[in-house]
């Protein structure tokens, strides 16, 4: 990154509107990055589970596709079940 090209401004020089816009922009970018990171880890996990045969075609066939979709949904279900169970356990201990 070429930092020398960034002019010497301070955030305190920004108007309230600019600050708000900047904050919204950063939050959006962070959310996007988090979403993409989640898709990367889900694809990694579900590829291992669903693409089990030899690589012979460039396309995902129907059964692989439905496996991938199920994999994503069941992973999220598991996550919710575990968090829910932790809640129950937390109440008891």
Partner 1 sequence: MSTIAQQSNIENARTLIEKINEKCFEKCIPKPGGSLSSGESTCLTTCMQKYMQAWNVVSQAYITRIKSDPRGN
Q: Which residue ranges make up the site for partner 1 (CB under 8 A)?
A: 1, 25-26, 29, 32-33, 35-40, 42-44, 46-48, 50-51, 54-60, 64-65, 68-69, 71-73, 76, 80
Query: CA-CA distance, 86 to 80, in Å (whole number)?
Result: 10
| Minimum CB distance to partner 1 smaller for 2 or for 92 | 2
In the complex, least distance from residue 93 CB atom to partner 1, rounded to whole angstroms: 25
Can you list the positions of beta strands (E) in the chain?
none
46 CB neighbour count, 10 Å cutoff: 19
| Minimum CB distance to partner 1 smaller for 29 or for 86 | 29
Query: Residue for token digits 């993409």?
Result: 36
């Amino acid at each position: 990154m070429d930092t020398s090209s960034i002019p010497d401004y301070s955030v305190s020089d920004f108007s309230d509107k600019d600050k708000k816009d900047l904050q919204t922009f950063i939050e959006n970018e962070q959310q996007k990055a988090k979403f993409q990171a989640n898709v990367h880890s889900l694809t990694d996990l579900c590829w291992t589970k669903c693409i089990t045969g030899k690589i012979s075609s460039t396309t995902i066939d129907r059964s692989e596709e439905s496996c991938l979709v199920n994999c994503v949904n069941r992973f999220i279900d598991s996550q919710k079940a575990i968090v829910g169970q932790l809640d129950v356990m937390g109440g008891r201990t």
